Chain A
Amino acid sequence: MSTVNTWTSTQHFWLIILGFFVAFVPRFLPLMLFTKRAIPEWFNEWMKYVPVSLFTALVVKDIFINSESYQFMFTKFSEMLAAIIVVFIAYRTRSMALSVVVGLIAVFLLSMVIA
């Protein structure tokens, strides 16, 4: 994270407004439509795989892709190990807060030992 963002607060503001619309429409339209009629099955089936694909892509980006050159990298060993620990904690406890806190502690301790 060496690059510092150069956006102004006005740009941030417009990002929030646009973000609000893309966040609001998927929450509101189905409620509007489906409190009145039935849900198309294929849409449900397809939507089911969007979160899991997206989150995996984001994790791969965080751990294996260099944020400046977009090249593949296999150097973040403390993050990789911490990620495995988080998978285990999430699987065992199903607690979001615990997964995040343990993950942060793990990456902090591991980065002192490894890198």
Chain B
Amino acid sequence: MNKRRPNPKQVPDPNEPLWRSTLRVAMPLNLSYIPIGLACGILLHAAGFNTLLTGLVSLLIFSGGAQFLIATMLTINSPLLSIVLMLFFLELRYALLSSSLSPYLKGQSNRFLFIFAVSLNDENYAINYLKFATDKKWTGKEALMVEHYSLLFWAVSNVIGSLIGSALKIDLGIVNFALTALFIYMIVMQIKNRLTIVICLISGVLAALCMMLTKSTLGLVISTLIASLIGFLLESTLRKRLPDSHWLWRLHSPGSKKSAVENTDN
């Protein structure tokens, strides 16, 4: 977005119907969902999901990370309890997202909050958070429309991916790297200071140790709990004892024009 000149997209056209103005806001996200949704559909098909269930999981869970996780854990034959526990820990982060959106949704009915929560996810959160923070006219209604557009694109891409997966024979080892790349992307997006990098290293070593000891993916749950707790304790001690510590300095990425959206903690 160009900050100097007024962006023509920001100028509201009073005659434009709401479905089109919200669609325009949602479109960049919708388009980037297509390749990821296709990859996710192919992976879920490879993990044994049929097309109908792939559509259902995209509608009900609607989370790239969670669906990729289901696909990997099924291909390594994890037990049901282990998968649900991992999903629970993965989805716990949504508590943070919906907490930070709550000031903008005060006074909405419980029914609205229910529908809004069902189709909330990381990416449409990022868009809506930015719009709520910068656009006074952005209300829950528009935010919900953005959520539904992204949900539609996500579910359709997944179903098409599932159909492609059943028509083609694809090297699963390579397609599986889509999920590794997605997780790496998410890590990079989460890194805000040097301390986060230390936590990553701790978490990585702990994860390897815990998985070797437990001989199951339950090790992931244990290491995630320990590592995030260490991060929380380290940060609060540092902030108390050494508030100017260079470990807490913010890191700026060259392409960080979007970072205003992701830095939700300030």
Interface residues of A (CB under 8 A from B): 1, 3-7, 9, 11-20, 22-24, 26-35, 39, 42-65, 67-68, 70-72, 79, 82-83, 86-87, 90-97, 99-104, 107-108, 111
Contact = CB atoms under 8 A, between A and B. Distances in A.
B227 interface: yes
Contact of A65 (B110, B212, B258): B212
Given A23-B91, A31-B98, A57-B224, A62 B35 contact: no
B131 to A, nearest CB: 17
5 contacts: A19-B60, A32-B110, A50-B224, A52-B190, A65-B208
Contact of A48 (B31, B96, B103, B224): B96
Interface stretch (B4-12, B18-26, B161-169, B171-179): B171-179
A94 B188 CA distance: 8
A4 B75 CA distance: 6
Given A5-B74, A11-B80, A27-B117, A107 B36 contact: no
Interface in B151-192: 172-191
A14 B216 CA distance: 21
B180 A62 contact: yes
B99 A90 contact: no
A35 B9 CA distance: 31
Contacts of A4: 48, 75
A79 B183 CA distance: 13
B236 interface: yes
A48 to B, nearest CB: 6
B90 interface: yes
B96 A28 contact: no
Contacts of B96: 30, 44, 47-48
B83 interface: yes
A31 B143 CA distance: 14
A31 B177 contact: no
Contact of A19 (B66, B184, B206, B231): B66
Interface string B62-76: 110110011010111
A28 B145 CA distance: 18
Contacts of B259: 94
Contacts of A44: 96, 99, 265
A100 to B, nearest CB: 5
Most chain A CB atoms below 10 A, which of B93, B99, B118, B172: B99
Given A54-B90, A56-B207, A60-B207, A23 B66 contact: yes
Interface residues of B, number: 110
Given A31-B101, A52-B199, A56-B200, A90 B185 contact: yes
Contacts of A62: 72, 176-177, 179-180, 183
B56 interface: yes
A60 B224 CA distance: 12
B181 to A, nearest CB: 3
B189 A5 contact: no
A12 B114 CA distance: 25
A31 B180 contact: no
Contacts of A100: 35-36, 39, 178, 181-182, 185
Contacts of A13: 53, 56
Nearest to B34: A97
Contacts of A17: 60
A53 B223 CA distance: 8
